[in-house]
Amino acid sequence: MKNIMQSIFLLSLGCSKNTVDSERLIRQAELNGLHFTDQADDADIIIINTCGFIADAKEESINEILAATEKRHNGEIKALFVMGCLSALYSRELRAELPEVDHFFGTSDLEEIISVLGGSYRPSNIHERTLLTPPHYAWLKIAEGCSRTCSFCAIPKMRGRYRSEPIERLEKEASLLLKNGVRELNIISQDITQYGWDFDERSHLNDLLKKLAAQEFSWIRLLYAYPLHFPLDVIDTMREHANICNYLDMPVQHISDRILKSMQRGIDKKGTIGLLESIRKKNPDIRLRTTMIVGYPGETDREFDELLEFVGQLRFDRLGCFPYSHEEHTSAFKHLEDDIPEKIKKERVEALMELQESIAAERNRELEGRVMKVLVDEVEGSIAYARTEYDAPEVDNDVLVDIGDNPVQPGDFCTVTIEESSAYELHGRVNDC
């Protein structure tokens, strides 16, 4: 298929890892002379990068595919491609149900996609990306796949076993991002803790972090760290380098020993609490983000109360909660019954998030009156939407800043006096930028 002179609309769904895949695809296509449009109605070709993690994400992906198949059926577009996690899991079923889709690709088929588009894959340029994020921040995906065996997760089925990127290549990719104006580098993978284990069965995360900290990023942030075997020397490095944010995203998922064992997390309640306490002891200024799953098969009222007590005691700075989703291609789906009613799952999510809201509101009140450094993401009139170093893009708190007539732009760092707060927002006035 020779499509060099045709326009492409790419819809990237799901997580930041998917975003990086899409950014690499766009750059490879652009190197071959292909043109992308921001509007599906202006496209000759539509590519949808799907998510297949949980039911809601699957539904969103399916709905977007169905909308695009209408365009293909009506002749409004010349080709429709579907790629990513949903496609990797269900390619056979999707092909049978959606003949309007011209090609289905998995999560590691970049070379094939470029070939079908009429171009030539350029491995020497794989570290180059066309950003879909605002230009002042970017994701750095340090590994692909996952070798953990969490009972609720199908990521290993979608993306294969864990494969770390060489440090030298990541340094080069980061250097290019810095050269192109990125000021905040967010380190991601399915599990950053495991980085380098496939090299020699030890974590190389701290080695990588030191290399990246030597570059002139203003902020470097760590996301998605698995608790088991987390290298505590990373926290020492965090304290030693001003440009590494005092922030760590560590999904804990639950605290009941029985549930943690059934989830196949490899760590128990005592180990989890000991790790979190060690992290905070090493860096008292750190802000911890986590995620929890409630309504896991067999979760009793007592086990849920144990989780509430744990969250109340540990007082996470940022917390997200998901109702358990019984997903195909997981060991929980094969061996456990999804026996918690949806109504109970919803009630437990609400109870946990109500507790977290009170914790977050109290933690934010402690910041009132402080002068803080923030990074501006967006400006609307006299209000700037910004973040502190304690807040990751897209998921954490905003700082709403009254900038008055000051010429503030996205990507600017400003100092702000915090005047008011709520559970998930800070309000302040700009001092200088």
- Percentage of residues in the chain with pLDDT exceeding 70? 99
For 427, phi then psi, to 5°, come to -125, 135
**In the predicted model, what is the mean pLDDT of the chain?**
95
Query: Residue 46: pLDDT above 60?
Result: yes
Query: Residue 420: pLDDT above 70?
Result: yes
Query: Residue 2: pLDDT above 80?
Result: no
Distance CA 380, CA 427 (A): 15
Distance CA 145, CA 422 (A): 37
Handedness of CA 195, 201, 202, 208 (dihedral sign): negative
Measuring CA to CA, how many Å separate 308 from each of 96, 146, 273, 292, 430? 45, 29, 14, 11, 38
- Reported as a pLDDT band with limits 50, 70 and 90, residue 52 is confident
Distance CA 119, CA 115 (A): 5
- Reported as a pLDDT band with limits 50, 70 and 90, residue 233 is very high
pLDDT value at position 5?
62
Distance CA 332, CA 336 (A): 5
Element (H, E) at 10: strand 7-12
User: Phi-psi region for residue 140, left (φ > 0), alpha (ψ -120 to 50) or beta?
Assistant: beta
Torsion of CA 201, 206, 208, 210, to 10 degrees: -150
What's the DSSP call for residue 292?
E
| CA angle (240 as vertex; 275, 360 as ends), nearest 5 | 50
Distance CA 183, CA 433 (A): 15
Distance CA 164, CA 143 (A): 4
Domains of the chain, with CATH numbers? Answer: 7-124 (3.40.50.12160), 137-365 (3.80.30.20), 371-432 (2.40.50.140)
CA 389 to chain centre: 17
Assigned token pair, 395: 């998921």
pLDDT value at position 394?
93
Closest CA to 34 of 103, 92, 114, 110: 114
Q: What number is the average pLDDT over the span 150-156?
A: 93
Q: What number is the average pLDDT over the span 59-82?
A: 93
Closest CA to 26 of 14, 38, 41: 38
Query: Residue 58: pLDDT above 90?
Result: no
Distance CA 103, CA 284 (A): 51
Assigned token pair, 2: 């020779």
pLDDT in tens, 161-208: 999 999 999 999 999 999 999 999 999 999 999 999 999 989 999 999
Helix (H, G, I), strand (E, B) or coil at 355: helix
CB 327 within 8 A of CB 333: yes
CB 118 within 8 A of CB 4: yes
Assigned token pair, 66: 């169905």
pLDDT value at position 398?
96
DSSP string, 63-118: HHHHHHHHHHHTTSSSEEEEEEHHHHHHHHHHHHH-TT-SEE--SS-HHHHHHHTT
Measuring CA to CA, how many Å separate 170 from each of 100, 139, 140, 167, 393? 38, 11, 8, 5, 21
Helix (H, G, I), strand (E, B) or coil at 414: strand
| Angle of helix 233-240 versus helix 269-282 axis, rounded to 10 | 20
pLDDT in tens, 304-320: 999 999 999 999 999 99
Q: CB-side exposure of 131: number of CA atoms within 13 Å?
A: 17
Query: Residue 406: pLDDT above 80?
Result: yes
pLDDT in tens, 95-149: 899 999 999 999 999 999 999 999 999 999 989 999 999 999 999 999 999 999 9
Torsion of CA 348, 349, 350, 353, to 10 degrees: 120
Q: Whole-model pTM?
A: 0.94
